[in-house]
Structure 1
Amino acid sequence: MTDTLAPARTAAEIRAQWAAQQGRARDIAHQLGLREAQLIAARIGHGATAIAAHPDRLFPALGQLGTCMALTRNESCVIEIDGRYENFHAGEHAAMTLEPGLDMRMFPRHWVHGFAFVEDTDTGPRRSIQVFDAAGDAIHKVYLRPASDLDGWDRLVTELALPEQADVIAVDDRAAPEGAKSAPEKRDILLSEWRRLTDTHQFLRLCAKLKMNRLGAYRIAGDEFVRPLSPAAIPAMMQAVQASGAHVMTFVGNAGCIEIHSGPFKTLKAMGPWENVLDPGFNLHLRQDHVAEVWAVEKPTKRGNALSFEAFDAQGNLIFQVFPVAKEANDHRAAWAEIVATLPGADA
């Protein structure tokens, strides 16, 4: 997507231009040379209310709404999960929800612009909470379901409404993609430290210490811990998970939020470039044509090696990850390992 913004316009001009367009707000914003947050802000007083965006304030209020649909996306993948915003744990640098149905990790510094938005549709009003980063790109969205608590919605809007209701907002430049950061001269150190891992979360700290990132480390690691796969491994993996009934953890995120679903893939449907999982309470939409690299990766832990499936775009951005569900009473590691072993390699 281009990072060029159109000249400044009034909120009334933006609303008029929006009304003349068809499609999703994200796509319309791009067509108009705006960021999505600017498009929604133009509706302040016309269905939108600017609200506090920080998770420490927002998530306790979301708990009043009952079951909602939680949506997190990046440029290439969208995850949608029905759940309740409960069991919230605040944190200065990282926060989380740990509900079985709604498992999320939030990085508060990216939660900058928040809106409560009511838009008219053919089926009636659609209510959502939408949060954007400083560049005006979506971090997380919450859509009310028919069973959601409308009194809770009214309380949330009243409690979180900002004193300043600005219908035109400035946005920052987007951060440039990091790409793959590698240090081949440190490969022996990387592998030595990799062998000593006891938790998957230690891996990114190791990469940072060596001035690398995830993809850069994979590219130089060799076959002890990684195997490059073909992009065609994605539909093959999904079909194998569906056929086996294996339960997997699917991670989709952006700089400010990661959303995680645990369970099987039941209903698969390819539509043009999109690979889709369309299950009750869980949808996944993946742009297969955005996938440039796929890796099978092993990381040692106290409970044995954790085997992940990870896809990246041409800019080196992580699209999504899949791990096995590995709980004591519901351990799918063996089935997952069998699936990954059958997937086509990068040279296929």
Structure 2
Amino acid sequence: MTMAGAVSSHDIRAARLENAKMRERDLSAKLGITEAQLVAAHVGDGVTRLRADLDALMAATTQLGEVMSLTRNESCVIEKVGVYDNYKSGAHAALIVNEEIDLRMFPNHWVHAFAVEKKTEHGPRRSLQVFDAAGDAIHKIHLRDASNHEVWPGIVESLKHEDQSDSVSVTPRVPTEGPKGDPAKADTLRAEWDKLTDTHQFLQMTRKLKMNRLGAYRMAGAPYVRKLKTNAVETLLHEAAETGVPIMIFVGNSGCIEIHTGPVKKIVEMGPWINVLDPGHDLHLRKDHIAEVWAVTKSTRRGPAISVEAFDADGWVIAQFFGVLRQEGAAEQWNTLVASLEEEKEAELV
């Protein structure tokens, strides 16, 4: 990756003009810079650097009314339309939970923030964009026609950073930790797994055993996990749409996890992408990035929580899918759907 300063802000702005229709993520990759550097190069020209203060940003976003909430990783993008109500602050983790917008946010990774305003033939397009220390997008909030645009100038002014330079310093990305397990602890892993009463205890358990999620899955075996064919996510989404079973979809990065709860209806495949294109909810997932898919069963006080989890070749979890336990009959429908997904017979568990 090219670090800040290797490409001048002037050259970045020129490249933006020459590639006006190219997505920011694609253009930054072409230039060998990060997306945060691409955005920062336009400070003073439709872009304002903001304080990356999560509490202040969420208070401001609440004033905007209906917006589009976007979270992505390298292989998946989730977009939800709604209002940023019911924000709960936290030093290590904050959250918003309402019917449309459901977020888990980790403020240590909210490092660079910008207000972005682009002129178009249909009027200004406005967004708040947050990036981590490596310059990768953490979360974006896009205003819509129904948003409260009249409060935008005041919000930008109130959040404005004292530093309005047109470059940012970024640090190298922290590489994804590959699968980490210990065959000598396989029996201990299964014994501890049997004691789970809540899904949130799982990562605490793996850390205690000096493993990680994927490493544990590769070791546990039945009845805890089943390795599925890599097309299982496609099958799952099509089946969920056809049967109407509500599902939960988790998509995240180091600084934010965004969740959809409810049905999916319109599934469209375009090249390597599988897409959910529903009113108020879009999902775009790169099928060709999926290297492993696991069906996972964890015990809870309300019964087994069964998930389907897709990983890339580096071991990053692209997306997770769960049933909706609180809706009558939905958990049984979900469990039946997951049980029908085809297993990867040749899988070798270590």
Q: What is the TM-score of this pair, normalised by structure 2? A: 0.96
Aligned to 1:16: 14
Q: Report the CA distance between 1:9 and its aligned residue.
A: 3.3
Please state how far the C-alpha of 1:152 moved relative to its aligned partner.
2.2
- Residue ranges of structure 2 left out of the alignment (5+ in a row): none
- Superposed, 1:287-298 pairs within 5 Å as 287-298=286-297
In 2: Cα distance, 1:347 partner to 1:5 partner: 44
Note the C-alpha offset of 1:218: 0.1
Instruction: Tell me the SS of whatever aligns to 1:100.
Output: coil
Contact 2:4–2:169 (CA under 8 A) maintained in structure 1: no
Deviation at 1:134, TM superposition (A): 0.3
1:29-52 deviations in Å (ceiling 9; x for gaps):
110111000010011110000011
User: What are the within-5 Å matches in structure 2 for residues 230-245 of structure 1?
Assistant: 230-245=229-244
Cα displacement string for residues 276-303 of structure 1 (whole angstroms, at most 9, x for unaligned residues): 0000000000000000000000000000
- C-alpha displacement at 1:26, in angstroms? 0.7
Equivalent of 1:332, from 325, 330, 336?
330
Whole-angstrom distance in 2 between the partners of 1:7 and 1:105: 33
* CA deviations over 1:150-182 (Å, ceiling 9, x no partner): 122222101100111121111000011101111
Give runs of aligned pairs for residues 117-266 of structure 1, distance below 5 A.
117-266=116-265
Q: CA deviation at 1:67?
A: 0.5
Distance in 1, matches of 2:304 and 2:14, equals 55
Distance 1:187 1:166 in 2: 53
Which deviates more, 196-205 or 122-131? Answer: 122-131
1:302-332 Cα shifts (integer Å, max 9, x gaps): 00000001000000000000101111x4451
Contact 1:48 1:115 in 2 (8 A): yes
CA distance in 2, matches of 1:9, 1:178: 30
Q: What one-letter code is carried by the residue in structure 2 that aligns with 1:13?
A: D
**Match of 1:192, as an amino acid?**
A
- The answer to whether the 8 Å contact 1:6/1:32 transfers is no
Q: Which amino acid aligns with 1:343?
A: L
Instruction: Give the corresponding residue for 1:341.
Output: 339
Query: Would the aligned equivalents of 1:6 and 1:33 in 2 still touch at CA under 8 Å?
Result: no
Query: What is the rounded CA distance, in whole Å, between the counterparts of 1:26 and 1:330 in structure 2?
Result: 41
Q: CA deviation at 1:121?
A: 2.6
Taking the aligned partners of 2:162 and 2:304, their CA distance within structure 1 comes to: 51
Letter in 1 for 2:150: D
Counterpart amino acid of 2:98?
A: E
Using the TM superposition, give the Cα deviation of residue 73 of structure 1 relative to its aligned residue in structure 2, in angstroms: 0.3
After superposition, the C-alpha distances for 1:225-247 in whole angstroms (9 at most, x for unaligned) are 10000011111111110111011
- Would the aligned equivalents of 1:87 and 1:97 in 2 still touch at CA under 8 Å? yes
Check if 1:83 corresponds to 2:82: yes
Aligned to 2:285: 286
* Alignment match, 1:319: 318
Aligned-partner Cα distance in 1 for 2:291–2:11: 39
Aligned residues: 345
Distance 1:102 1:230 in 2: 31
Q: Give me the whole-angstrom Cα distance separating, in 2, the residues matched to 1:194 and 1:68.
A: 40
Instruction: Note the 1:262-281 alignment, pairs <5 A.
Output: 262-281=261-280
Question: Corresponding residue for 1:93?
Answer: 92
Q: CA deviation at 1:4?
A: 4.2
Compute the displacement of 1:7 (Å): 5.5
Q: Does 1:40 pair with 2:42?
A: no
Deviations 1:119-158 (CA, angstroms, capped at 9, x unpaired): 1234221101000000000000010010000122222101
Which residue identity lines up with residue 341 of structure 2 in the other structure? L
Cα distance in 2, alignment partners of residues 63 and 6 from structure 1: 33
**C-alpha RMSD of the superposition:** 1.2
Structure 2 residue identity aligned to 1:293: E
1:86 CA drift (Å): 1.2
- Structure-1 separation of matches of 2:201 and 2:120: 46
Match of 2:192, SS state, is helix
CA contact (8 A) 1:325 1:331 kept: no
1:7–1:153 Cα change, 3 Å: closer
Stretches of structure 1 that go unaligned for 5 or more consecutive residues are: none
d(CA) in 2 for partners of 1:96, 1:333: 25
Alpha carbons 1:182, 1:211 under 8 Å: kept: yes
Native 8 Å contact 1:70 1:81 kept in 2: yes
Whole-angstrom distance in 1 between the partners of 2:53 and 2:173: 20
